[in-house]
């Protein structure tokens, strides 16, 4: 594969201060890229402390709906990795108009600004939730059937990006549910919250349990984005890629978390619940195209969270809105206050 720091030396990452971005941006800098981060920095700037020493790191504090400022920030970039979003169903549903405005309505102007600014590749973080519910491992050519407004907004952006073929290289990624530690930590993700509950309460409460989820470590997700930046145009232009390590039911995930933490005497409480969102995905295409093999697994994420918890890394992790998108979004909707 070509060296992306030569092919795409200047990269813009929207949402670069978030859960994935705060892992990805330092990696891009280490590889020699100049990186522009476009983010509201609502969760604070500390998530990118590892990037600030680099003269090739440039922070642009703005909302992606601010068309004129976004166009200026994207001037001269070679590639865009678009991570910014109202991220997850619960946060989106708190204010669907806001969710649609950020996730969908801002997308076309963003893509056009990237094209006008000189970008040649645009990598879009969609979601595996676009499949809705599947009884088998969904490949990229499976029918899409989004069950929520969040998933529908993601699919709408996919369709727009594919329509730009010939104007720039559009690459779509449908990530699994992510896990593991990040500078901008999230405890509203399945494996992370199961682990935290096991550590704090010694009980893992599972609602339903038969529903499937796909999982991928956040650092492997960052590695996949870098791989897609490195890849030859012919391999990725106009293509959709699932990104996952493995699939398992939520109940099985809870059992595996409890097994890692066996010495802590963790029990599992299965609560009857119907969750129509059940999906399994195949990442075979990503493996074939990039030779991509995840280096970390569910158990690694559990151990990371355990070590961070023991070290006291997180302040009141079960209740602090900083670690949960829905609670943080709800707080901002009722009394929005900028963070510094």
Whether the pLDDT of residue 1 is over 60: the answer is no
* 164-197: b (≥16 Cβ within 10 Å) or e: beeebbbbbbbbbbbbbbbbbbbbbbbbbbbbbb
C-beta separation of 104 from 97 below 8 A = no
What average pLDDT does the structure give for the chain? 94
Closest CA to 318 of 205, 216, 240: 205
pLDDT (0 to 100) of residue 5: 67
Annotated domain spans of the chain? 8-181+216-247+280-296+325-334
Segment 234-251, tens digit of pLDDT:
999 999 999 999 999 999
> Is the pLDDT score of 337 beyond 60?
no
Tallying the residues shown for the chain, one arrives at 340
The token pair at 40 is 């509201």
Query: How do residues 214-229 score in pLDDT, each as one tens digit?
Result: 999 999 999 999 999 9
Q: How far is CA 152 from CA 115, 139, 149, in A?
A: 24, 18, 5
Q: Is the pLDDT of residue 157 over 50?
A: yes
Predicted confidence at residue 277, as pLDDT, reads: 78
Q: Is 59 helix (H, G, I), strand (E, B) or coil?
A: strand
pLDDT tens for 120-155 read 999 999 999 999 988 899 999 999 999 999 999 999
- Please state, for a pLDDT cut of 90, what percent of the chain lies above it: 90
- Predicted TM-score (pTM) of the model is 0.95
DSSP string, 233-298: HHHHTTEEEEE-SEEEEHHHHHHHHHHHTGGGT-EEEEE------EEEE--HHHHHHH----S--H
The two three-digit tokens of residue 196, written as one number: 């935290």
Cα 40 from Cα 59, distance rounded (Å): 10
Task: Give residue 338's pLDDT band: very low, low, confident or very high (50, 70, 90).
Answer: very low
The superfamily CATH assigns to domain 8-181+216-247+280-296+325-334 is: NAD(P)-binding Rossmann-like Domain (3.40.50.720)
pLDDT of residue 43 exceeding 70, the answer is yes
pLDDT tens digits for range 57-107: 999 999 999 999 999 999 999 999 999 999 999 999 999 999 999 999 999
**Does 340 score more than 50 pLDDT?**
no
């Amino acid at each position: 594969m070509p060296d992306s720091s030569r092919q795409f030396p200047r990269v813009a990452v929207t949402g670069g201060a978030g859960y994935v971005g705060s892992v990805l941006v330092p990696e891009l800098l280490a590889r020699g890229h100049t990186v522009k981060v476009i983010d509201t920095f609502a969760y604070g700037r500390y998530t990118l402390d590892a990037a600030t020493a680099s003269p090739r790191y440039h922070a642009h504090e703005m909302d992606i709906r601010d068309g004129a400022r976004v166009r200026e920030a994207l001037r001269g970039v070679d590639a865009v990795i678009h991570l910014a979003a109202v991220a997850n169903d619960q946060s989106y549903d708190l204010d669907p108009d806001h969710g649609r405005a950020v996730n969908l309505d801002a997308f076309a102007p963003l893509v056009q600004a990237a094209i006008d600014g000189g970008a040649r590749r645009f990598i879009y973080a969609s979601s595996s939730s676009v499949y809705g519910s599947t009884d088998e491992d969904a490949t990229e050519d499976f029918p899409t059937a989004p069950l929520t407004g969040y998933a529908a907004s993601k699919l709408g952006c996919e369709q727009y990006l594919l329509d730009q073929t010939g104007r720039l290289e559009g690459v779509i990624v449908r990530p699994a549910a992510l896990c593991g530690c990040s500078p901008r930590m999230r405890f509203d993700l399945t494996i992370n919250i199961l682990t935290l509950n096991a550590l704090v309460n010694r009980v893992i409460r599972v609602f339903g349990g038969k529903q499937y989820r796909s999982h991928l470590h956040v650092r492997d997700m960052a590695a996949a984005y870098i791989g897609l930046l490195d890849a030859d145009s012919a391999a990725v232009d106009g293509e959709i890629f699932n990104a996952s390590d493995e699939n398992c039911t939520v109940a099985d995930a809870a059992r595996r978390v409890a097994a890692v933490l066996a010495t802590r005497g963790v029990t599992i409480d299965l609560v009857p619940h119907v969750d129509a969102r059940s999906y399994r995905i195949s990442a075979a295409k990503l493996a074939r195209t990039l030779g991509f093999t995840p280096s970390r697994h569910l158990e690694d994420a559990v151990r990371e969270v355990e070590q961070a918890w023991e070290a006291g890394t997180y302040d009141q992790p079960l209740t602090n809105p900083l670690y949960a998108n829905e609670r943080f979004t709800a707080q901002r909707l009722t009394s929005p206050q900028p963070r510094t």
